[in-house]
Amino acid sequence: MRAAVLTAVGHPLEMRADVEVDDPHRGEVLVRLAASGVCHTDLSARDGRMIMPTPVVLGHEGAGVVEAVGEGVTKVAPGDGVLVSWVPQCGRCYLCARDQGHLCERAVVTMATGGLLDGTTRLRSAGAPLHQMAAAGTFAELAVVPESGVVPLPGDLDLTAASLLGCSVMTGVGAALNTAGIRPGDTVAVVGCGGVGLNVVQGARIAGAGEIVAVDTNPAKLRAAAAFGATGAVDASATDAVSAVMALTGQRGADVVFEVVGAARTIDQAVTMTRRGGQAVLVGIPAMDVILAVPAFVGLVLAGKTITGCWYGSANVHADVPRLVGLYRSGQLLLDELVSRTIALDEVDGALDAMAAGGDDARCVVEHRA
């Protein structure tokens, strides 16, 4: 099969047509990918801000059709449409049992090894093992994934739009609905309005926020944020973002602030523009060496602020995917509008370059065309 492979950090993705795929083992599913969103985390992996073993098939936001199942698989069957979850949530470990499936203890091994739940991979290329990103590796025509890493989808759901439920929608909307304590009428600020940030915006709208201030340096992304529910905008390339948000909130700060960039400067801005007693939610993926420095007394104790990390939208994918599909069907959740353009598999490295250059795409989606 064909796959886009990262051979070394900082190198362009290499298209390979010689990738061999093993049959799924017990508890595993072979998925023929239909679509895969291009995410900033893929860029972080390519450029070395996120560490993983190489060579590796990137891509972790995908949907497709089950082609085969291993022994013991009962949740899906060949022919079923499925969403691929890059955190395969076992439902049985200590954290899953405490409704923290996004932190599943069994799933952690897949991040560390670039393999499946047993730490091994089902892919080979040039006679050597080939890793897959986050037990997914969706920049490929086929992927073997754990049964706990797929969620059945309704047969009438368009898989191109549905693929975005696997990361950007789950992370962004989940940050607003699951991680944050947004109350009806709250003022919310969203720092960074790319693919995930737009979903934070619409998640805040669904949660009943009264004011939603979008903050970005790209005017096109601010316009997109308005279409997803933002009521105000701050162009951080033209003004100081903190001063602007404070001015819009009577110098009090926002009730809830989401940081969706992952940079030290914007994290500091997000914490600063959070009101006393408010909540700053860190959603963006920072580089490994980014340190959060907050004055303990003035910044936290006296201010009574809460700073919360958000991993995968604090989601239980097996419950949240049907919930999101319901919101989509009711018209509250926008999915089709997130797809800026579709590309072929061999164009994915160019899409990452465009993302690195600060392009206007909300989400670029690889369609795995026959």
- Condensed to tens digits (0 to 9), the pLDDT of residues 38-52 reads 999 999 999 988 888
Give the whole-angstrom CA distance, residue 181 versus residue 145: 33
- Looking at residue 126, its amino acid is A
Span 206-217, average pLDDT: 98
Which stretches within 191-281 are classed as H helix?
A: 195-207, 219-228, 241-248, 264-272
Domain 175-310, CATH: 3.40.50.720
**Tokens standing for residue 12:** 């362009």
- Condensed to tens digits (0 to 9), the pLDDT of residues 239-290 reads 999 999 999 999 999 999 999 999 999 999 999 999 999 999 999 999 888 9
**Tokens standing for residue 220:** 């096109």
pLDDT for 186 beyond 70: yes
Cite the residue boundaries of each domain of the chain with CATH code 3.40.50.720: 175-310
pLDDT for 369 beyond 80: no
pLDDT for 361 beyond 90: no
pLDDT at 113: 92
Nearest to 259 by CA among 171, 343, 160, 169: 171
The set of residues, in sequence order, having a beta carbon less than 8 Å from that of 322 and lying 6+ positions away, is none
The per-residue pLDDT of the chain, averaged, comes to 96
- Condensed to tens digits (0 to 9), the pLDDT of residues 74-107 reads 999 999 999 999 999 999 999 999 999 999 999 9
The set of residues, in sequence order, having a beta carbon less than 8 Å from that of 330 and lying 6+ positions away, is none
- Condensed to tens digits (0 to 9), the pLDDT of residues 124-151 reads 998 899 999 999 999 999 999 999 999 9
pLDDT at 112: 85
Span 351-357, average pLDDT: 93
Q: Are 35 and 336 in contact (CB under 8 A)?
A: no
Q: What is the pTM of this model?
A: 0.96
- Condensed to tens digits (0 to 9), the pLDDT of residues 314-325 reads 999 999 999 999
Give the whole-angstrom CA distance, residue 314 versus residue 305: 20
pLDDT at 370: 60
Q: Are 257 and 278 in contact (CB under 8 A)?
A: yes
- The better pLDDT of the pair 207, 111 is held by 207
The set of residues, in sequence order, having a beta carbon less than 8 Å from that of 72 and lying 6+ positions away, is 26, 27, 147
- Condensed to tens digits (0 to 9), the pLDDT of residues 230-248 reads 999 999 999 999 999 999 9
Q: Which CATH number fits domain 3-166+334-367: 3.10.580.10, 3.90.180.10, 3.40.50.720, 3.40.50.300?
A: 3.90.180.10
Q: Are 38 and 345 in contact (CB under 8 A)?
A: no
Give the whole-angstrom CA distance, residue 369 versus residue 302: 56
Bridge partners, 232 (sequence order)? 213
Q: What are phi and psi of 134, to 5 degrees?
A: 50, 45
Cite the residue boundaries of each domain of the chain with CATH code 3.90.180.10: 3-166+334-367
